[in-house]
C-alpha cells in the first residue's frame, strides 16, 4: 500500500477514535454527575442537617468526574495534534 494511503488511513481511524473518546467520555461524565446530583437531592431531602457535609463531597466527586473526562480530552487532543502512530509509518 502506498505511504500516502497508509497515512490517510491512520488519520481517519484516529479521527473516529477521537470522536468516540470525547463523545463517550462526555456522555459518561454527564450521566455520572446527573445520577450523583439526584442522589444528593434525595439525601438532602431526607436529612437536611447533613447538607453541608454532603455538598462538599458532591463537589469533590463532581471535580473528579470532570477531571477523568478532561484527561480523556487531553489524550484525544494529543493524538489529534502529535499522532505517535504516524511515526511508525516513517520507518516502514
Q: Are 90 and 61 in contact (CB under 8 A)?
A: no
Q: How far apart are the C-alpha atoms of 11 and 38, rounded to whole Å?
A: 40
How many other β-carbons are positioned within 10 Å of the β-carbon of residue 92? 7
Q: How far apart are the C-alpha atoms of 16 and 23, rounded to whole Å?
A: 10
How many other β-carbons are positioned within 10 Å of the β-carbon of residue 86? 14
Active-site residue list: 66
Amino acid at each position: 500500500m502506498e505511504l500516502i494511503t497508509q497515512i490517510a488511513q491512520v488519520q481517519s481511524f484516529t479521527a473516529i477514535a477521537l470522536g468516540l473518546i470525547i463523545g463517550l467520555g462526555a456522555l459518561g461524565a454527564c450521566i455520572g454527575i446527573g445520577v450523583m446530583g439526584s442522589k444528593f437531592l434525595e439525601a438532602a431531602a431526607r436529612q437536611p442537617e447533613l447538607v453541608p457535609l454532603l455538598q462538599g463531597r458532591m463537589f469533590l466527586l463532581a471535580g473528579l468526574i470532570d477531571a477523568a473526562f478532561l484527561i480523556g480530552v487531553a489524550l484525544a487532543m494529543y493524538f489529534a495534534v502529535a499522532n505517535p502512530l504516524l511515526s511508525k509509518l516513517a520507518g516502514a
